[in-house]
Amino acid sequence: MMRPLTHALPGALAALLRGVPVSDGMVDFAWTVAVGAAVQRVTSVRLEQRVLIVEVPDQNWDREITRSKPVILARLQTLLGRDAVAEIQIRKHPR
């Protein structure tokens, strides 16, 4: 049975990333894959001791990311490993 390429990509990406030390670049890449380019453009992320800090521009983005946190966390853990990210915290961009 043929599976669409989009079904194979997450597993292939996870296999490529496994065993590679987690870096800022890897976290940025995994974030983009997990949330898509539109969300990536308006947010910034950094990993601090297994907590992904997501900076958002306003309350609307805070609400959207909060709503999607379980799905986003599962995707990040698939890409980076279950032990890489334990929690997501959302903060408003400092102005």
pTM for the whole structure: 0.80
Q: Tell me the CATH number at 39.
A: 3.30.300
Percent of the chain surpassing pLDDT 90 = 62
Distance CA 52, CA 45 (A): 7
Render pLDDT for 7-39 as a digit per residue (tens, 0 to 9): 445 565 655 566 667 889 899 999 999 999 999
**Could you tell me if 65 and 90 are in contact, meaning their C-beta atoms sit under 8 angstroms apart?**
yes
Does residue 6 surpass a pLDDT of 50?
Answer: no
Expressed as residue numbers, the domain containing 46 is 5-92
The DSSP letter of residue 36 is -
Count how many domains the chain has: 1
Percent of the chain surpassing pLDDT 70 = 77
